[in-house]
Amino acid sequence: MKVSENVSLRPYNTFGIDAAARYFTTFRNQEELQEILLDPRWRSVPRMILGGGSNILLTQNFDGLVLKNEVKGIEVVAEDDDHVYVQAGAGENWHQFVLHCIGKGLAGLENLSLIPGNVGASPMQNIGAYGVEIKDTFHELEALSIDGKSATLFNAAACAFGYRESVFKRRYRDQFVILNVTYRLSKHPTFHTSYGAITQELEQMGVKDLSIRNISQAVINIRSSKLPNPAEIGNAGSFFKNPEVTREKYEQLKADFPNVVAYPLPNDHYKLAAGWLIEQCGWKGYREGDAGVHVKQALVLVNYGHAKGNEIYALSTKVLESVQEKFGVQLEREVNIV
């Protein structure tokens, strides 16, 4: 395996941060990964698994070995009357995988169109958008332990999925390398159109007959209209999670701020729109050097060119503190800080 030294990670993270990896390599299958992980030379060196780099903020050079996952391949592994089980290599591009499934008439992932990144990271934070999360169609994944010794299958229960959460972000952080993920897709679609502006967008598109292809296109249109394209402006999507508060806290906020945007949850709690909280603190469109808060979506922090990761991080701290001060609500970063 070829290991390069002092490699700029700028092309490998959608924030476009120019931090370097002391060592960098790629792997295309389990054998290549094991060759590295079992090599005594690398055992005591910190390691970072990289997918599409669309959910990380590099705040410093990485003094270790970056392993870029390039495990490819999409195949049907099982089928029953209602479902097809499709397995994808962790290094497959997520959106291309979604389009592939739609092309085969397999339903379940269409609302998750155009999310950047790779298949292997999709279970990491249980990616979600427009009323759907991957946990809804997830079947299982295969992951190699970071010592390179054993591969394990994880079903949905073992992944402990939550809102932008999984066991791989918590208890097993940096303990496993996800090699492939299998989704249970439906031959008979159930359409999810109630969330956000999907119905409105479908009307505007002149859609008469619903299909997974139409829903995918509606989601693509909505996302393109408000989220910055990382190819043009560096970003990692939502920088913070939407915070959950108790009913009492929500009622107090509603009394003080009648326009507060919140969604009731089944557990008698409320999810607040962090974008609204941040916008109310005056951050929307704010810019400090090349670090900023997106003009159309206050939940998205951006790099206009040459911002350093610690400048974006410092801005996120100011945002977090001002939301705490004005609303008494603690935001939590969604992006993985490296």
Q: Catalytic residues, which ones?
A: 164, 238, 334
Indicate which of ligand FAD, ligand EPU, none lies near residue 159 (CB less than 5 to 8 Å, by partner kind).
none
Q: Determine, following the binding rule CB under 6 A, whether residue 222 of this chain makes contact with ligand FAD.
A: no
**How many Å apart are CA 230 and CA 237, to the nearest integer?**
9
The single residue among 24, 130, 250, 327 that binds ligand EPU, judged by CB under 6 A, is: 130
Q: Determine, following the binding rule CB under 6 A, whether residue 123 of this chain makes contact with ligand FAD.
A: no
- Piece of the chain touching ligand FAD by CB under 6 A; list 2-10, 118-126, 246-254, 259-267: 118-126
Q: Which is nearer to ligand EPU, 138 or 276 (CB)?
A: 276
Q: Determine, following the binding rule CB under 6 A, whether residue 16 of this chain makes contact with ligand FAD.
A: no
* Count of positions on this chain that bind ligand FAD (CB under 6 A): 32
HSE, CB side, 13 Å, CA atoms: give it for residue 203.
5
The residue whose two tokens read 């999907």 is: 198
Q: Which is nearer to ligand EPU, 158 or 261 (CB)?
A: 261
The single residue among 7, 19, 57, 90 that binds ligand FAD, judged by CB under 6 A, is: 90
The single residue among 48, 71, 129, 307 that binds ligand EPU, judged by CB under 6 A, is: 129
Q: Determine, following the binding rule CB under 6 A, whether residue 14 of this chain makes contact with ligand FAD.
A: yes
**How many Å apart are CA 289 and CA 28, to the nearest integer?**
39
Please report, for the chain, how many H helices and E strands are present, in that order.
8, 20
User: What pairs with residue 144 in β-bridges?
Assistant: 151, 177
Minimum CB separation of residue 280 from ligand EPU in Å reads 8
Minimum CB separation of residue 263 from ligand EPU in Å reads 9
Q: What are the backbone angles phi and psi of residue 178, rounded to the nearest 5°?
A: -75, 125
In 42-171, at which residue ranges do the beta strands (DSSP E only) sit?
47-50, 56-57, 62-69, 74-79, 83-89, 128-129, 132-133, 138-145, 151-155
Ramachandran bin of 265, using left for φ above 0, alpha for ψ from -120 to 50, beta for the remaining angles: beta
Residue from 9, 13, 20, 81 nearest 234 by CA: 13
Query: Amino acid identity, residue 300?
Result: V
Indicate which of ligand FAD, ligand EPU, none lies near residue 69 (CB less than 5 to 8 Å, by partner kind).
ligand FAD
Minimum CB separation of residue 251 from ligand FAD in Å reads 29
**How many Å apart are CA 68 and CA 26, to the nearest integer?**
5
Site for ligand FAD in 138-177 (CB under 6 A): 177
Q: Determine, following the binding rule CB under 6 A, whether residue 90 of this chain makes contact with ligand EPU.
A: no
- Burial string for 184-205 (b: 16+ CB within 10 Å, else e) reads bbeeebeebbeeebbeebbeee
Other Cβ atoms less than 10 A from the Cβ of 146: the count is 15
The single residue among 120, 275, 292, 309 that binds ligand FAD, judged by CB under 6 A, is: 120
- Piece of the chain touching ligand FAD by CB under 6 A; list 109-117, 183-191, 274-282, 305-313: 109-117
The residue whose two tokens read 């291309």 is: 96
Tell me which residues touch ligand FAD (CB under 6 A).
14, 48-56, 69, 90, 115-118, 120-122, 124-125, 127-129, 177-178, 227, 230, 235-237, 336
Tell me which residues touch ligand EPU (CB under 6 A).
129-130, 196, 237-238, 241-242, 261, 273, 275-276, 279, 284, 297-299, 334
